[in-house]
Structure 1
Amino acid sequence: MEAETVHRKGFLGRSAMVNKPNETMRIIVTVFVGIIFGFFIGKSFPALPLLKLNITSTLIHDFSVAGNKSTGGSTQSIDASSSSNNNRSNSTENQNVNDSSKIWVPSNPKGAERLPPGIVASESDFYLRRLWGEPSEDLISKPKYLVTFTVGYDQRNNIDAAVKKFSENFTIVLFHYDGRASEWDEFEWSYRAIHVSAKKQTKWWYAKRFLHPDIVAPYDFIFIWDEDLGVEHFDAEEFIKLVRKHGLEISQPGLEPSRGLTWQMTKRRDHHEVHKQTEEKPGWCSDPRLPPCSAFIEIMAPVFSREAWRCVWHMIQNDLVHGWGLDFALQKCVEPAHEKIGVVDAQWIVHQSVPSLGNQGQADHGKAPWQGVRERCRREWKMFQTRMADAEKSYYKAMGIDPPKFTFHH
């Protein structure tokens, strides 16, 4: 028995000694094959950029999904995606900067960095072009000023009289709130006017969408006028001469005192060219240099310099289409406002107070259409005031300074 045991031990010992070299050889062969396989895989990656991209995208996607599942929200997914986009954007910019064969001009308008500066057309205009001939020969002259009227066809005769007060130095734009744009062809000047039609919209809705500062950049002054203005005592060229003479960036013609007058500031003064300050009801002006006693005009017939309009356009809210409250805020766009905002008395108009746009409203709960429009106007005024106040508070808070005090009544 002992001999048998010894025999078996000897057998097992010899077997282990035989198996060990085989196992060692198997490991060596496996490692060698792995190295060769890895080498070929590594060599294949540079030739497969799409594969690399897909793998990276898949990893980012998996990370986002995992983040959502673990946190129960979308924050990690957004952060990962945003980080990826930012890194990709920065990588692209760095690559373009370092690669002299690719165009990358950071000073170009946003989105146009890949274009050579010489081809960038960042501004436009309302000049009408021909369908034939040399482009350089299209324009006999380039108007220096722009006048817009927001109109309904029923006021065509009034607009015809108003347009004739503006020389060929003006581009004419009509915004049609009643959809009847083609019917204005009875007037000769209509063929050289720009017609934009959208039913039941206001002039500030149009202005925000069609008078972007880069579109009206060729014009020194932009008139944005209502349709119910009597212009018998008005001449546009003479008006602009006085505006330039007195350094006005935002202005309007004086209003005939006997009709359609709301504020003392806009009332025409006899024997004056321009005025920039007035007196209102007691307690209405916290500062004589602030609205409505100064730095103030109304929104029925405003005139803006190119520079002032660039600021005002950005202040117009997309959803507050009546523009109520803008007149009190215009003073934020020029400095010093009490010197650069004024009323031109020598060229004056009559506000006829025709409720044509008001009648485009909708009767509701027994109220006439114009009543609903007027209620919205007042509501928008309060909303605009709140937005402006909140925006200023946020700014001053971020800057760590106390906001200035300014109140007005209405």
Structure 2
Amino acid sequence: MKLFTTALFAIAFGIVIGLSFPSLWITEIWEPSNPRGAERLPSGIIASESDLYLRRLWGNPDEDLVKQPRYLATFTVGYNQRHNIDACVSKFSENFTIVLFHYDGVTSAWNDEFEWSRNAIHISVKKQTKWWYAKRFLHPDIVARYDYIFIWDEDLGVDHFNAEEYIHIVKKHDLEISQPGLDPETGFNWQITKRREHSEVHKETDEKLDWCSNPPRPPCAAFVEIMAPVFSRDAWRCVWHMIQNDLVHGWGLDFALRRCVEEPAFEKIGIVDSQWIVHQFIPSLGNQGKADNGKAPWQGVRDRCQMEWKMFENRVEAAEKDYFRSLQVESPSNSTTSH
């Protein structure tokens, strides 16, 4: 009996101590609400988002950043187009972080020629496209500090463009995805992306009658081209997940962007007419291809673009059908990614 009483007292005493000092028996952390893979960390130490701000290697970290740019502008470039990129960068204020993706491997020469280049971020991988770079280096958690993200080609004329004014207009019209209007006198462009005179923004147009529908859909509305898109932070988080790892040219993506904004999508996607650009149609990316079976390098690149477009359409259609099938409902008939 005495032994039983002693054991009972020891158990009771242990419970009291455990309740009074829980740290004595909780030896591991497991926080399921933390990001995947970080469940063993206390939530207060987790830094789930980052930025592209450049920091010094000395001094107090709290004093590193003299300024914190609110916007991000990226260009996929080759050295031959350096003067065009110099003109583009001059249109972006210090409120922008500038990132250059180099598809030709030339980086240091930019710093020798342009003062602004020394404060830009340079990422160099040969013979890749801007969507390849974007998928790998512009994860939404990495660019979460930026309100708007410009993902632009290198062959754009910007004499009639000002980035700060562009941002002002985008905010005014509550556009989640946008692009500057394109000079209607140069090259082939979709009807909707052509600049309209005496207009600040437009969101709809008339293409071929059998392409347009009600409610308006691409390419008659809710549509921008992939040469010079601008995304809000929230829209980019969605678009990044839709970019396929192996489909590097981004063809077909423009028809699917509407999926990344709240309906009605044609109210959130638009063309800014008062800040417009010129598409110069310089086929520099085609020259990065490889001659094969008698085809010129540019032709092989073009064929790959067409192939990727079809593959992307098929994947979106299949994924959508699988989703609605899982809900045991019929997939909407107007959910295709192209006209």
Query: Normalization by structure 1: what TM-score?
Result: 0.75
Q: Is the 8 A contact 1:277 1:288 kept in 2?
A: no
Q: Distance in 2 between matches of 1:287 and 1:327?
A: 19
1:260/1:100 Cα in 2 relative to 1: closer, same or farther (>3 Å)?
farther
Following superposition, the deviation at residue 281 of structure 1 comes to 1.1
Name the structure 2 match of 1:122.
48
Q: Distance in 1 between matches of 2:201 and 2:230?
A: 14
Name the structure 1 match of 2:267.
339
2:28 corresponds to 1:139: no
Q: CA offsets, 1:348-380, max 9 Å, x none? A: 000000000111101111111111100100000
Following superposition, the deviation at residue 409 of structure 1 comes to 5.9
Q: Pick from 29, 36, 43: which aligns with 1:110?
A: 36
**SS of residue matched to 2:218:** coil
Name the structure 2 match of 1:245.
172
Q: Pick from 261, 272, 277: which aligns with 1:349?
A: 277
2:101 corresponds to 1:175: yes
State, as a whole percentage, how many aligned pairs show the same letter. 72
Structure 1 residue identity aligned to 2:157: G
Following superposition, the deviation at residue 388 of structure 1 comes to 0.3
Following superposition, the deviation at residue 116 of structure 1 comes to 1.0
Q: Distance in 1 between matches of 2:312 and 2:68?
A: 37
Q: Pick from 114, 118, 132: which aligns with 1:205?
A: 132
Q: Name stretches of at least 5 consecutive residues in structure 2 with no aligned partner.
A: 1-24
Q: Distance in 2 between matches of 1:266 and 1:115?
A: 48
Name the structure 2 match of 1:46.
none
Structure 2 residue identity aligned to 1:177: Y
Q: CA offsets, 1:248-293, max 9 Å, x none? A: 0000000000113320010101111100100001211233511111
Name the structure 2 match of 1:302.
229
Would you say how many aligned residue pairs link Structure 1 and Structure 2? 315
Is the deviation greater in 245-254 or in 286-295?
Answer: 286-295
Q: Pick from 344, 360, 366: which aligns with 2:288?
A: 360
Q: Distance in 2 between matches of 1:393 and 1:238?
A: 42
Q: Is the 8 A contact 1:285 1:408 kept in 2?
A: no
Q: Distance in 1 between matches of 2:337 and 2:40?
A: 49
Structure 1 residue identity aligned to 2:81: Q
1:409/1:314 Cα in 2 relative to 1: closer, same or farther (>3 Å)?
closer
Q: CA offsets, 1:137-187, max 9 Å, x none? A: 111000000000000000000000000000000000000000001110110
Q: Distance in 1 between matches of 2:279 and 2:26?
A: 61
Q: In angstroms, what is the RMSD of aligned CA positions?
A: 1.6
Q: Is the 8 A contact 1:279 1:293 kept in 2?
A: yes
Give the 5 Å matches for 1:14-25.
none
**SS of residue matched to 1:102:** coil
Name the structure 2 match of 1:63.
none
Q: Distance in 2 between matches of 1:161 and 1:134?
A: 36
Structure 1 residue identity aligned to 2:149: I
Q: Is the 8 A contact 1:284 1:408 kept in 2?
A: no
Q: CA offsets, 1:43-88, max 9 Å, x none? A: xxxxxxxxxxxxxxxxxxxxxxxxxxxxxxxxxxxxxxxxxxxxxx
Q: Distance in 1 between matches of 2:190 and 2:276?
A: 15
Q: Distance in 2 between matches of 1:282 and 1:409?
A: 14
Name the structure 2 match of 1:264.
191
Runs of 4+ in 1 over 3 A off after TM superposition: 407-410
- Greater CA radius of gyration, 1 or 2? 1
Q: CA offsets, 1:98-153, max 9 Å, x none? A: x6332211111111111111110101111001111111111100000000000000
**SS of residue matched to 1:402:** coil
Higher helix share: 1
Structure 2 residue identity aligned to 1:170: F
Is the deviation greater in 116-125 or in 153-162?
Answer: 116-125
Q: Distance in 2 between matches of 1:100 and 1:375?
A: 61
1:408/1:224 Cα in 2 relative to 1: closer, same or farther (>3 Å)?
closer
Structure 1 residue identity aligned to 2:179: Q
